Structure 1
Amino acid sequence: MTYMEATAGQSIDAPGTTPAKRRAYVTEGPKMVDFLVANGIKMRRCPWWPDYYDDRPGGSVPGRTIVADLFNSNELGGWRDRLEPNFLGNVPAYHYEGFEIGLAKTSWKGKTEMLKVGMRMIMAKLTGKRWVTAGGALQGRMLQASLAAGVDLRVNSKVTSFISDESGAVKGVVTQKDGKPWRVGADLGVLVNAGGFSHNQEMRDKYQPGTSAKWTAATAGSTGEMILEMMKIGAAIGQMEEMVGNQMSIPPGKENQGNGVALGELAGGQMHYAKPHSIVVDQSGVRYMNEGGSYMEFCQNMLTRDKIVPAVPSWWIGDQRGRDNYHGGNPPKAWLDSGFIKRDRTIVGLAGQIGINPAVLRKTIDTYNDGARKGIDAEFGRGNRAYDNWLGDFHRKDGSHTLGPIETGPFYAAPVVPGDVGTYGGVVTDENARVLRQDGSVIEGLYATGISTASVMGRIYPGAGSSVGPSFVFGYIAAKHAAHLGNQGDS
């Protein structure tokens, strides 16, 4: 709770987070995990994944992230191919192993992890297993448990509206069956967990100007229609300007694929921009933030900066040493030929290619280099948090884990945009996950969770899983609340 209050609790004008909701999250979260484990969902605690603001009161350096065990999707039988493709494909690696593998050029631990994952891949081939990891593993295990419990799962059944009685209470939904409207009644309530609006450019233009649906890695179903439907029956909304930002460099033709990070050909971008020997500058050539830390804050900084100085896109600037050690070596020839990645043997030449005053870029790099050689970022404090260093090269023996001078030519530049892995605003709910009206009254029978709601984390991303964690916890809370009312005969 100390950490929640030092992060989410500091959000301003964020109706999705209240002391009661934050306490419900902390109190019910462990119970929800116990419930999942008791129902056969195999999970594990990550050995090391620092809180994103570990320097704040209550922050944890080891972290508190849990993930699903690797899952053999063949166990789903005919349902296997209904899983969304995983961003790591069928590579059987946990997130934290992936971070180690990213350091294979500079550490024996990274090489060992690469060998271990490689052996898993070989064994999978020999045994016919089809491993999925990360969100795919969690989804696969949840789907398997749901099928085993006899849940009636209906695909291709888009909900178009809610059914309400004369008092305004929600009593069901209108969906589709065989291409025709189909009404489904609900005795205990309706729970909406339909994603956000990352793929709805009209909603983005209204609530998140300057962002693009082409830059999202969110699932294709995040089109926002259920948020709009809840608004039609009086639901209040909040925090619609916020998204789970995920800085990206997207090669031509890779939009909306979630794997657009040019620097290391990996999904997402957070760890690449915090590696030694690189910085991010705006279009004037000035560095304006700590490139480490929360990916959500990174993109908030970019959009805020863009209101003062053009910063969308910004430019990632790095040198050959950094590319060789952390970003896959020389970039593909097609990226260089297309101009997506710029390369030059001098900083002056690179500045000319990206339209920046060479003197300004040279001064920015010199200032950064002076601090990097001392292991100190006096401007923005990169490396002051455990999380910054974890994103860098945490096996590095000499100097900073995240800072390194940009001095070994040739030099590189790549455009960086404020992408996302989901939006962070939606309908306002209470501590029981009930959807609220603008006046604070409850829309009876209507519950919501996940990124269809205004986040309990407010305007901040305190740690890994700050979207999926609340989605699960408040889904669990909603089910218990509705079942309790049902047992009382009140609904």
Structure 2
Amino acid sequence: MEETFDFVVVGSGGGSMCAALRLRAAGKRVLILEKTALLGGTTAASGGVMWIPNNRYMRAEGIVDSSEQALAYLDAVLGEAADMPGASRERRRAYVEQAPQMLDFLVAQGIRLRRIPSWPDYYDAAGASVPGRAVVSELFDIKQLGEWMDKLRPGFLPLPANLDEAMQLPLIKRSFAAKKTLARILGRALADRLRGRRRVTAGQALQGQMLHAALKAGTEIRVGCAVRELLLEKGGVSGVLCEQDGQLRRITARLGVLINAGGFARNQRMLDRYIPGTRADWSSAIEGDTGEMIEEGLRIGAAGAQLGERIGMQIALTPGWQKLAVKPGMQNDINKPHAIVVDQSAQRYANEASPHPEFSRQMLLRNRSVPANPSWMIFDSQYLRTYMLAGTLPGARKPQPWFEQNVLRKADSLAALAGQCGLDAQALAATVQRFNGFVRQGRDADFGRGNAPYDRWAGDPLHQPSNTLGALEQAPFYALQLVPGDVGTYGGLLTDASARVLRPDGSVIAGLYATGTSSASVMGACEVGPGGSIGPAFTWGYIAAQDALRSAAAND
């Protein structure tokens, strides 16, 4: 079977429907092909945060930012690295200039967004924004999707709660403000039930809005349709060969093909080749994140770049973790007072309050010289009484399988705990003693934990004098293994400042674009702030559509 469209998008994650909306606004026929049965990609299952410098919501609140300030921040964090061509200064500039324009375009299409009131950039560097550049979706009633509602991938938070509201809930036992927030969320849920609404949040809300707008604009969308080949004509990409219900379809794309099919976090063969020491079943990326479109791009001569990079998230392998779509992420656990992380020599090796991509990266780097995969989270009874642990509420009572399966280790002394974990008892005692000394001094002289605005934001706002530094001194003591999970890979096909896929010699493969984790990230080896993956996915999808329209106009 043969069909013709103006533009074909492979995958339905962040950026796919953004590109479709831009092309539909110009009157072009657009087809989105999704190989799984659900739409929205990993974006729908995520927090749905976009890192957008100098955005309209910052300006409305009087928060100072500019393209130059954001570029200075990227330069300070990323530097100049020849092995990170996706993060070239040309692409960095294109991103910081185009991202706010993309956001304005979405708002003009009726997408309702908002700024997280406080979420600092991840690194304490020149140009960083302490108020933050994080943009998220407003709550969205997915019943507006009608028959498409069940085709939208579920989110991770089954409450009509904004992300900043959800972040307050762990304080529910200690904060009156948190109790008020919970009451507001529950009241909202009750109102939704009475009015027949089903409002969702985070990435599901973002992708629900995008799907609703794309359908309303006349975009054709197909699920269960896997692309098998990129079709070549005169050295460029002319369309795709896809399979649906066992039937092959040849689809011509007059203006181009955009690959936005995710990375390869669920492909163990590719992980073993590019990111050894990681496992596909540790990933919180969706099941379709298997990398075949990256490999297809490489097959037709595209350049791959930054394939050894990932968006790491340290996780705990609590009982039943294999069945969870989103694994038990531990970033919001290890940054709290009265806890540290050590390698298998019982030494700390990184700032526990650093953002999850950075800490997970340090875990893999450390493992090259000292076994650190897995690592151990060590904490005391003060911690267990006060903070959530791997998704469980504060308190000493934990699920019995945690103890029966030796997932959570408990001992009346650090020496006994070290014996249970196979750690050197003297080394662990020395590490804890050194850290406790830093706590008393109010300064982590080894790794600067608590120095950066992000560290303090991520810690416990009710713990004084430090939000993140607290001594380990009250028995019993506990230990929990951590492994370097992820929320996706970060390398892929190399693209230029117009999102066009390049060959190794720098020439453009005509008609082929890439965005999201199918492409080499403009962030290089880092995620510079919350939404450092989704923001670029949307922006390069928008840029790809703009370039396709310019090329079409030039050829008319």
TM over 0.5: yes
**What corresponds to 1:150 in structure 2?**
218
User: What corresponds to 1:4 in structure 2?
Assistant: 74
SS in 1 for 2:231: strand
Moved more, 25-34 or 407-416: 407-416
Residues 256 and 425 from structure 1, CA distance in 2 versus in 1: closer, same or farther, beyond 3 angstroms?
farther
1:89-119 alpha-carbon deviations (Å, 9 max, x no partner): x212222222221222333322222222222
Q: Distance in 1 between matches of 2:417 and 2:159?
A: 36
2:331 is equivalent to residue 270 of structure 1: yes
Letter of the 1:72 counterpart: D
Deviation at 1:258, TM superposition (A): 4.3
Q: Which residue of 2 aligns with 1:435?
A: 501
C-alpha contact (below 8 Å) 1:14/1:238 kept by paired residues: yes
Task: Give structure 2 stretches of 5+ with no counterpart.
Answer: 1-70
| Distance change (3 Å), C-alpha of 1:146 and 1:198 | same
Secondary structure of the corresponding residue to residue 349 of structure 1: helix
- The one of 292, 299, 314 equivalent to 1:232 is 299
Q: How many residues align?
A: 480
Task: Give the counterpart of 1:115 among 173, 183, 195.
Answer: 183
> Deviation digits for residues 65-106 of structure 1, max 9, x if unmatched?
000011111111111111112111x21222222222122233
> Is 1:18–2:79 an aligned residue pair?
no
Instruction: Work out which of the residue numbers 474, 480, 485 in structure 1 matches 2:546.
Output: 480
Query: Where does residue 39 of structure 1 map in the other structure?
Result: 109
Aligned residue for 2:213, secondary structure, equals: helix
Q: Aligned residue for 2:318?
A: 251
SS in 1 for 2:205: helix
Aligned ranges for residues 36-435 of structure 1 at < 5 Å? 36-53=106-123, 55-88=124-157, 90-165=158-233, 167-255=234-322, 257-261=324-328, 268-327=329-388, 328=393, 329-330=395-396, 331-396=398-463, 398-435=464-501
| Alpha-carbon contact 1:9-1:458 (below 8 Å) kept | no
Q: 2:523 aligns with which of 441, 457, 465?
A: 457
Report the Cα distance in structure 2 between the residues aligned to 1:106 and 1:377, rounded to whole angstroms.
26
Contact residue 434 and residue 442 of structure 1 kept, 8 A: yes
Distance in 1, Cα, partners of 2:168 & 2:187: 16
**Aligned mates of 2:78, 2:169 — CA distance in 1:** 32
Paired with 1:82 and 1:244, the residues of 2 have a C-alpha distance of 26
Amino acid corresponding to residue 427 of structure 1 in structure 2: L
SS in structure 1 of the partner of residue 95 of structure 2:
helix
* Kept after mapping to 2: 8 A contact 1:195/1:223: yes
**SS of residue matched to 1:186:** strand
CA offset at residue 241 of structure 1? 0.6
Shift of 1:358: 1.1
Is the alpha carbon distance of 1:400 and 1:12 closer, same or farther for their aligned partners in structure 2, counting shifts above 3 Å? Answer: farther
Shift of 1:40: 0.9
> For residue 537 of structure 2, what is the aligned residue in structure 1?
471
The 1:221/1:269 distance shift into structure 2, 3 A limit, reads same
Alpha-carbon distance in structure 1 between the residues aligned to 2:487 and 2:531 = 11
> Separation in 1 of the partners of 2:259 and 2:160?
32
| Residue identity matched to 2:176 | W
Deviation, 1:128, is: 2.7
Q: What is the CA–CA distance in structure 1 between the aligned matches of 2:337 and 2:121, rounded to whole Å?
A: 21
Opposite residue 208 of structure 1, the aligned amino acid is I
Output the CA distance in 2 between the equivalents of 1:115 and 1:11.
49
- Partner Cα separation in structure 1 for residue 374 and residue 408 of structure 2: 13
Q: Within 1, Cα distance between the matches of 2:441 and 2:219?
A: 59
- Cα offset, 1:476, TM superposition: 0.3
Q: Which amino acid aligns with 1:364?
A: T
Matches of 1:109 and 1:274, distance apart in 2: 22
Which residue does the alignment assign to 1:265?
Answer: none
- Residue matched to 1:29: 99
**SS of aligned partner of 2:225:** coil
CA 152–433 in structure 1, closer or farther in 2 if over 3 Å, else same: same
SS at match of 1:244: strand
How many Å apart are 1:11 and its aligned residue? 4.3
Separation in structure 1 between the aligned mates of residue 327 and residue 245 of structure 2, nearest angstrom: 37
CA shift digits 1:274-326 (9 cap, x unpaired): 01110000011111110112211111111111111111010011112112211
Q: Is the 8 A contact 1:44 1:66 kept in 2?
A: yes
Counterpart residue identity of residue 369, structure 1: N
Query: Does the residue aligned with 1:102 lie in a helix, a strand or coil?
Result: helix
Structure 1, residues 250-285: CA drift from partner, whole Å, max 9, x if none?
213312624432xxxxxx322111011100000111
Alpha-carbon distance in structure 2 between the residues aligned to 1:322 and 1:12: 43
Distance 2:281 2:230 in 1: 30
Counterpart CA distance in 1 for 2:415 and 2:159 is 41
Provide the C-alpha distance between the structure 2 equivalents of 1:246 and 1:65, rounded to a whole number of angstroms.
19
Change over 3 Å in CA distance of 1:375–1:99 after alignment to 2: farther
CA gap 1:11/1:402 in 2 versus in 1, 3 angstroms: farther
The whole-number CA distance in structure 1 between the counterparts of 2:103 and 2:307 is 29
Shift in alpha-carbon separation, 1:63–1:479, aligned structure 2, 3 A: same
Amino acid at match of 2:306: Q
SS at match of 1:484: helix
Partner amino acid, structure 1, of 2:205 = A
Q: TM-score, normalised by structure 1?
A: 0.95
Structure 1's 357 and 177: CA in aligned 2 closer, same or farther, altered over 3 A? closer
